[in-house]
Amino acid sequence: MKKRAASPDVVVVGGGVMGTASAWELARRGLSVVVLERSVPGAEASSAAAGILGAQVESHTPGPLAELSRASRRLYPAWVRALERATGIDTGYRECGVLKVAFRAPELGRLAREVAWQKPRPRVLSRRALARREPNLDAKLAGGIAYDDDARVDPRRLFRALHIAAARAGVVFRSGAYVRRVVNEAGRAAGVALDDGSVVRARHVVVAAGSWTSLVEGLGIAAGAVQPVRGQIVELETPEPLITSVVFGPRAYLVPRDDGRTLVGSTMEFVGYRREVTAAAVRDLLTAAIELVPAFGAASLGQSWSNFRPYTEDELPLLGGTELPGLWLASGHYRNGILLAPITAAVVSALVRGKASPVPLAPFAPVRRAQP
Amino acid sequence: MKKRAASPDVVVVGGGVMGTASAWELARRGLSVVVLERSVPGAEASSAAAGILGAQVESHTPGPLAELSRASRRLYPAWVRALERATGIDTGYRECGVLKVAFRAPELGRLAREVAWQKPRPRVLSRRALARREPNLDAKLAGGIAYDDDARVDPRRLFRALHIAAARAGVVFRSGAYVRRVVNEAGRAAGVALDDGSVVRARHVVVAAGSWTSLVEGLGIAAGAVQPVRGQIVELETPEPLITSVVFGPRAYLVPRDDGRTLVGSTMEFVGYRREVTAAAVRDLLTAAIELVPAFGAASLGQSWSNFRPYTEDELPLLGGTELPGLWLASGHYRNGILLAPITAAVVSALVRGKASPVPLAPFAPVRRAQP
């Protein structure tokens, strides 16, 4: 066996999109990084996500999360270009826009009023304009809101590219490494202790453990600060794509891929870590999809799966430094982890290197959840 | 390579449940049998079927098919016992009864009138009696008809047992053998010609090719005499079975397995050999299943599949001799192939050995479909 190298500069807990994006960013800046993953890289929400880059469609009120989301969306084009350059992998990033549609005029009016604060202002599409944009949508739809700057990406391709890019940049990955706690030495993070009794020493610890974050001890956050919220997804397959935009209906969203697959999502369930796909959810998702695009009735049922969004009570991520110097959190991204990956990586990279964050972090400070 | 043995007594076209059951029966009587299968044994309807032994629930009028069905059901207990003795495999045969349920009293009354001719007479269950029998059925059901003598079997287990029993009895199986036509020599069947140009000679030819029967040339039946009717099935999984009887609702049937799987079927579609599982069908099946047993809403979605029933225009099988001596048909069993396998095997075995059929065959004579 090869002798293990000296302690890395940074140990990252969690080999999902957040941890890997942060590790890649740090490695490109010359730091040595080890990523510890309890399962295999990208096993969880990172590859289960739908990949909606819904900076605006997912922002229902102005505020810091809406700003963070827009900042991350701005980073996306250059970020995926860099990934594609580094790996040759097409991440499926498409500036396709997102449509939020309504079956009745009053509902469309409500949607239009709700987005009045947004910049750029989403456009209201008439029934006819909507049909021109997506001819396979149900003709009974009253119209929709067009979020032209929102986009989509294929999370599995994105993750593969990220993982390969990080590995090529020198990041070391260890799978099956179950982190029990952060090691506190003289009031500073000094690494992490694994459940096999071993310790991985590092000057910086970044915890990006998604829905499993609260299971890591020594973070100084409440036991239930991050909770899993299950989402179920069903994939439909058609010979050609029936839609090109992401479509949000009243009861489901549809995310097309270029190859004729369309994801139909999703549920929001507090059921712990139970990874089922249930009959009632599939019934509801299929009903909603066929209601939006009747031709989906003849689509083939593809894969179905479920996974967990890392939910926080105020629905804001836990992003930034903690009360323990050297310990950084990048978790709790809830419904928008894929969207928020590049800005999160930029924030983590700046903080670990002692630079100023590119965005204000006060609203996301993990210590807001410190136990009394 | 081993030298091929002399010509067998019988060549069977089709390695599904009909062909295999017939081959087993013949081999036990001392005949040498080769089974030719275009795909792999049991690849098609034989393993896709739900396994309802619905001799009565599937018989809507008195007549020869109702008689044939009851005759086959009578054979089942001894047949599966023999299979289990020969192989040690539990075929999942369960004398569980079949319930046909109605949501409204007038519908229940109609169902009760429709079965008045049946012997034994199915019982009418009140709302309360139905709930006692199957407590997980929706409490809103008005009642049901109990077909106490109908049963179920697990077609995949049944087929595995049949295939092994036949092989142990000396039946030779050839997979990937695509039969093009029956060889007619001096006005008598003399074997079959394969698409690779080779001929398998035999004194008797039994065609049991299910939905692919019409593709075999030289049978003397119309081109579309047997057509594929697609059925889609979805499997649900619960920790414990929620029902023990087979349940027919207005829009789907439910077939429990002992391990917590429940099959939900099915559709009836003339779509050629397109093997899809479609979004609309899954939506409808799940909706119907949850309507019948609300607790299925929380069940896990299991496997889903589709396959083809060998349909004939008058819905009667093609069973018996043809205009060509030595050529026998055992096909077109439509919705009840699993049920009709033992009687079909008994008929084929008798005819090939020059004995009288155990049941009247005139209504099923394949020649009724002879081309003009």
Q: Please tell me which of the candidates A278, A283, A299 has its beta carbon nearest to residue B278.
A: A299
Kindly list the strands in the beta sheet with A327-331, ordered across the sheet, starting from the edge strand earlier in the chain. A172-175, A33-37, A10-13, A204-207, A327-331, A318-321
User: Which structure tokens are listed for B194?
Assistant: 């394969």
Distance from CA of A278 to the nearest CA of B (A): 4
Q: What are A7-35's pLDDT values in tens digits?
A: 999 999 999 999 999 999 999 999 999 99
pLDDT of B5 reads 58
- Nearest chain A residue (CA) to B291: A280
Mean pLDDT for all residues in chain B: 96
- Subunit contact A286:B290, Cβ cutoff 8 A: no
CA distance A290 to chain B (A): 7
Confidence band (pLDDT; 50, 70, 90) for A53? very high
Backbone dihedral angles phi then psi of residue A192, each to the nearest 5 degrees: -135, 150
> What's the number of CA atoms in the CB half-sphere (13 Å) around residue B294?
5
User: B6 pLDDT band (50/70/90 cuts)?
Assistant: confident
Percentage of residues in chain A having pLDDT higher than 90: 96
Nearest C-alpha of chain B: how many angstroms from A292? Answer: 13
- Search chain A and give the residue with CA nearest B271: A298
Order the strands of the A98-102 sheet from edge to edge. Answer: A123-126, A143-147, A98-102, A246-248, A253-256, A261-265, A227-237, A300-311
Which tokens go with B168?
Answer: 């142990």
Tell me what the mean pLDDT of segment A249-273 comes to: 97
Pick from B276, B289, B300: CB nearest A300? B276
Contacts of residue B278 in chain A, CB cutoff 8 Å?
297-301
Q: What is the ipTM of this complex?
A: 0.88
CA–CA distance, B12 with B54 (Å, rounded to integer): 27
A279, A299, A304 member nearest B289 (Cβ): A279
Measured between CA atoms, how close is A128 to chain B, in angstroms? 26
For residue B275, the model assigns a pLDDT of: 93
| Mean pLDDT confidence for A168-176 | 97
**What is the per-residue pLDDT for A223?**
84
| Residues B212 and B329 sit within 8 Å (Cβ to Cβ) | no
Amino acid at A330: A
Is pTM beyond 0.90 here?
A: yes
Q: Is the pLDDT of residue A217 over 80?
A: yes
Give the residue-averaged pLDDT of B274-290.
Answer: 97
B302: closest chain A residue by CA: A277
Q: What is the C-alpha to C-alpha distance for residues B63 and B147, in angstroms, rounded to an integer?
A: 18
Domains and CATH numbers, chain B: 10-87+155-226+314-369 (3.50.50.60), 98-150+227-309 (3.30.9.10)
Beta-carbon separation of A300 and B277 below 8 A: yes
Dist. CA B211–CA B227, nearest whole Å:
6
